[in-house]
Structure formats: structure tokens, C-alpha cells
Amino acid sequence: MKKLIGAFAAGAMLLALAGCAPAATGSGDAAAAGPKAESDLVVGFAQVGAESGWRTANTKDIQDSFKEAGIQLKFSDAQQKQENQIKAIRSYIQQKVDVIAFSPVVETGWDAVLNEAKDAGIPVVLTDRAVDSSDDSLYVTFLGSDFVLEGQKAGEWVLEEYKDQTEPVKIIQLEGTTGAAPAIDRAEGFAEAIKSDPKFEVVASQTGDFTRAGGKQVTEALLKANPGVNLIYAHNDDMGLGAIEAIEAAGLVPGKDIKIVTVDAVKDGMQALADGKINFIVECSPLLGKQLIEVVKQINNGETPEKRIVTEETTFTQEQAIEALPTRQY
Ligand code: GYE
């Protein structure tokens, strides 16, 4: 934090100096003139992809929020590939956008490109997913959910749901994209919660890449290899929805023969919960657009946003899903 303030202070001093310099220094330093008009701001956003209902809702919310704020948005879809995101970020640097925002598909491997943005003097905002870097001066803030807490909430529901069962509880975990912050953290939070009772056994854990097709395919294979599974913990709704198809195809009843707990609470997931095919959902809000706009405005005004902005979230049982569905935005 100190480092960050230091960097900002140094930057501000340079700008102040540039501002005092005679006109002969040229017109290069527009920022010296103070904040830009918001209608002149350009933000480059490098999205992960379109892998899930959550992502679709997130993209729409970001695009709508920028339209509403009258700030120009350059948007790219990396199709879940880090190399594509890096290319997009490099192109935003070349285009000299005012702010770069992105949702890192995986946690590691960003330092080089983020240093390029830093050298170009372009602030970077992380939305939704975090990076794993020892240098936190490479981004201004991380705006998104507490994924460890989400995993814990899922695990705590499982503890309660099976509190009277003395037999082992066999669990399949459908992991998100390998190396992605929500996959790593949701696994960690869940494991943390259930470790207090050895009757909970994660008999298999595999990635379904946050997609419905992935969830279906992995569940099909894992059900064959692991008879007598009690519960599926899916890192997002879409993989849970894929699991429902696989469970039904195996002649079993989702929500009864095999219970399902997921994370996200997008409409299709909430519908399955209302229908009793999913048993519990931990909410993860994709509505990050308005907060991102706030951060962009703060940066433009020379203010320092909080280093970590955490999204507030709840959980849903079947009754709560039935109640929430009619007014659910996404
Ligand atoms: O849970 C999942 C999406 O990063 C929080 O990514 C996001 C996750 C979300 O594909 O559905």
C-alpha cells in the first residue's frame, strides 16, 4: 500500500512539474491539465470469454454501465485464453487508452504485460478475478467477490445438510478453469469448511472449465467411476446444470439421489434450484459495471481507490430462489 501511495505521489509530483513547465515542453502531457472530461475517457476491457451465464451477465452489465455513464469502452473477448487477453491488453496499451480493466482468466503469468502497462503510465483495474503477483503496484485495485468465502458457505451448507448422516458422504467436485482464482479459492474454502468431519470424502475432483458441456462430460465419467456419490459441488451454476443432465441420463434424480450445490445464482441456476434439481446456491454477483465506472472516475480525478473492493453476496435455498426469481436481473 505504502509503495502504491509512494508511486502515486511521485507520479503526481511529475505531473505537477510538467504542469508548471513552459509551453515549450509540448502538449504531450494531457493529464497535467487535470481530469479529462468523462466523455473523452477511453477504457479497454479484456474479458475472459463467454463460458457461462455469469459471464454473459457480467459482459452485459459492463457494457450497459459504460453506455449509461457516457464513457467509451473498447471490449474484447479472449475465449478463455490467456494469450488472447495479453494480446488485447497490449493493443490497449498501443492505443493509449486511459484505463485498462480486465478479468484475468488465470492467476499467474501477468507481470510482464502489466509492467508494460505501468511503463506506459496506464492504470490497470482487476475486475472479478485476481492475479497472483508479488508486485501489487501493477494494478490499482481488485474489484470482485471473496471466492474463498463462497466456497466456505457451500461447505457450511453441506455440513448442516448431512449433520445426521453417519455414513460417509461421497462428494464429486466440479472445478472451474484450472489456475483461475475462483477455481482455486472455491476449492480452498470448501475444503476448509468440511475438513472438520472425516465422514466427508471428496472422491473425485476435476475441471469442467466453468461450462455446461464440461460439467456434463466430467460428471458422466466420474459417476461411472464412483458409484454411490451423494453430492456434487460445482464451482458454478453452469457446470451444475451440466451435471443435472448427466445425472438424469444415468437414470438418477438430481436434487434427491444426488444433491447439488453450486456458486453464482444466475437465472438458469436459480430456476433449477426452484425446481428442486439443485439444492443450494451461493451467490456471486456479476454486476460489477457500476463499481468499475466509479473506480475509473476516481482514477481520472487523481483519487486512489481502495486496493480491494469486495462484492456483497448472499445464499439461496429453494424457497428463497422461488421468491427471488421473478425480480432476478440476471
Ligand atoms: O463464477 C463463473 C464464470 O470469475 C466469478 O467465472 C467468475 C466465474 C463465475 O465463468 O460462472
Residue 11 is predicted with a pLDDT of 45
Residue 14: pLDDT band by 50, 70, 90 thresholds?
A: very low
Instruction: Find out whether the beta carbon of 284 lies less than 6 Å from any atom of ligand 1.
Output: yes
pLDDT reading at 15 higher than 60: no
pTM: 0.90
pLDDT reading at 26 higher than 80: no
Residue 2: strand, helix, or coil: helix
What is the tens place of the pLDDT at every residue in 77-103?
999 999 999 999 999 999 999 999 999
Instruction: Find out whether the beta carbon of 264 lies less than 6 Å from any atom of ligand 1.
Output: yes
What's the first-to-final CA gap in the chain, in angstroms?
35
Domains 30-143+287-310 and 147-284 share a fold: yes
Residue 34 is predicted with a pLDDT of 78
Instruction: Find out whether the beta carbon of 55 lies less than 6 Å from any atom of ligand 1.
Output: yes
Residue 25 is predicted with a pLDDT of 31
What is the tens place of the pLDDT at every residue in 290-330?
999 999 999 999 999 999 999 999 999 999 999 999 999 89
Q: Which of 258, 282, 261, 308 is nearest to 54 (CA)?
A: 282
Query: What does the domain layout of the chain look like in residue ranges?
Result: 30-143+287-310, 147-284
Residue 33 is predicted with a pLDDT of 58
Average pLDDT over residues 227-239: 98
Instruction: Find out whether the beta carbon of 236 lies less than 6 Å from any atom of ligand 1.
Output: yes
What is the tens place of the pLDDT at every residue in 107-119?
999 999 999 999 9
- Cell numbers given for 65: 454501465
Residue 216 is predicted with a pLDDT of 98
Q: What is the CATH number of domain 147-284?
A: 3.40.50.2300
Asked if residue 213 lies in contact with residue 242, where contact means CB atoms within 8 angstroms, the answer is: yes
Residue that wins the pLDDT comparison between 13 and 280: 280
Rounded distance between C-alpha atoms, residue 82 and residue 108, angstroms: 10
Average pLDDT along the chain:
92
Please report, for residues 50, 54, 206, the alpha-carbon distance to residue 213 in angstroms, rounded to integers and kept in the order given: 13, 15, 13
Residue 163 is predicted with a pLDDT of 96
What separation in Å is there between the alpha carbon of 210 and the centre of ligand 1? Answer: 7
Rounded distance between C-alpha atoms, residue 289 and residue 127, angstroms: 9
pLDDT reading at 32 higher than 80: no
Q: Which of 148, 284, 288 to mutate to test the pocket of ligand 1 (most atoms within 8 A of CB)?
A: 284
The listed CATH number (3.40.50.720, 3.30.200.20, 3.30.450.20, 3.40.50.2300) that belongs to domain 30-143+287-310: 3.40.50.2300
What separation in Å is there between the alpha carbon of 58 and the centre of ligand 1? Answer: 9
Q: Which of 58, 235, 236 to mutate to test the pocket of ligand 1 (most atoms within 8 A of CB)?
A: 236
Asked if residue 58 lies in contact with residue 128, where contact means CB atoms within 8 angstroms, the answer is: yes
Rounded distance between C-alpha atoms, residue 210 and residue 42, angstroms: 30
What separation in Å is there between the alpha carbon of 181 and the centre of ligand 1? Answer: 9
Instruction: Find out whether the beta carbon of 285 lies less than 6 Å from any atom of ligand 1.
Output: no
Indicate which atom in ligand 1 lies nearest the CA of residue 147: 5
What is the tens place of the pLDDT at every residue in 137-180?
999 999 999 999 999 999 999 999 999 999 999 999 999 999 99
Percent of the chain with pLDDT over 90: 89
Residue 275 phi/psi, 5-degree rounding, is: -80, -5
pLDDT reading at 13 higher than 60: no
What is the tens place of the pLDDT at every residue in 247-281?
999 999 999 999 999 999 999 999 999 999 999 99
Residue 271 is predicted with a pLDDT of 98
pLDDT reading at 135 higher than 90: yes
